[in-house]
Structure 1
Amino acid sequence: MGGRQYPWVLASVPWSDATAFTRGTHLGLPLVSWGIAPRDLVATRRQLRAMGLRPNGQEPVAYLYFYCRRAGKKVFAELFLISKSAPHRPATPAQHTAIAKANLAKRICRTCGRDAGYVVPLETRQCTDCWLAEQSTPEPMAA
């Protein structure tokens, strides 16, 4: 019988002056398991985004690992210091214009060329009216 893959180790951590129990190291950084990292000091990219923050170019200070049952594998997430994070930058007017153009292109029917008012299906790229008209026309018989 083997020991734990990630045994408890007493090590120094970037978010505290004192040493803390970690699960060793991963890629040279402290490895913490689910529920161990202090939620008020470190966060993942998604958690920072939910707080309206971004990593601001800082390197990760630790890795969080957990087993994802849905994927059936271990997942490693980078942890960043919340204190060094910066507010998320809003999109520029040019970016909003580009997004609006891309969304408009997804709504155009390839048959009639009109704006369908909804994203047309990728399979047909047709609005409902054009697709129904195409389905109701009988196909010519092969000779």
Structure 2
Amino acid sequence: MTARNRRRRRATQPRTPLGLPEYDFGCALEGLLTRRQLRAKELRPGGYPPVAVLRCRRCTLHPMRACTHHALLYREDLAKPKLPMTLAKERALDRAMEARQRCPLCRRRFFFCLPLRTLGSCVPCHDGIPADPSTYLREAAHELAA
């Protein structure tokens, strides 16, 4: 298949598989926001489906091309406020981070995520050198903010 045929076939594909109206970058209507813009205003889509698609900057130069880096647009008036962080959510997130930050050999919890997939332990345990006390957390009974 030649490059000419490939280009022709790409131009005949539908622009978006979602069947929603499309807007070029910077040309969306007032009241339509992306997820990131909703999050900046402390809102969430609220279970409503997207109403339009925002095409990326690169695809505005090629109007017949199917955009692969699109963003979904939601109505601002239907958006609901973000759910507050509860103690149970915070505890679950803390446990998930602890699994990434605690060494399975020495049981110390560090301030950063450990390379457990490659080394299998913290760098001091892997290299056999003592750990600097300023790099890991002291054991505490309760350090959650809520």
Name the SS for the 1:113 alignment partner: coil
Tell me how far 1:32 sits from its aligned partner.
Answer: 1.0
Assess if the C-alpha contact under 8 Å between 2:32 and 2:76 holds in 1.
yes
Q: How does 1:1-143 map to 2 (within 5 A)?
A: 27-38=18-29, 40-67=30-57, 74-122=68-116, 123-133=118-128
Tell me how far 1:29 sits from its aligned partner.
Answer: 2.3
CA displacement, residues 49-81 of structure 1 (integer Å, 9 cap, x when unaligned): 121111111121111112559xxx632221111
Tell me how far 1:116 sits from its aligned partner.
Answer: 3.3
Unaligned runs of 5+ in 2: 1-7, 60-66, 130-146
Higher helix share: 2
Counting matched residue pairs gives: 110
Runs of 4+ residues deviating >4 angstroms: none
CA 1:29–1:117: 2 relative to 1, 3 Å:
closer
Unaligned runs of 5+ in 1: 6-23, 135-143
| TM value normalised by structure 2 | 0.62
Higher strand share: 1
Rounded to whole Å, the distance in 1 between the matches of 2:120 and 2:82 is: 35
Percent identity over paired residues: 35
Name the SS for the 2:109 alignment partner: coil
Rounded to whole Å, the distance in 2 between the matches of 1:46 and 1:124 is: 35
**CA RMSD of the aligned region, Å?**
2.8
Which structure ranks higher in relative contact order (CA pairs < 8 Å, sequence separation ≥ 6)?
Answer: 2
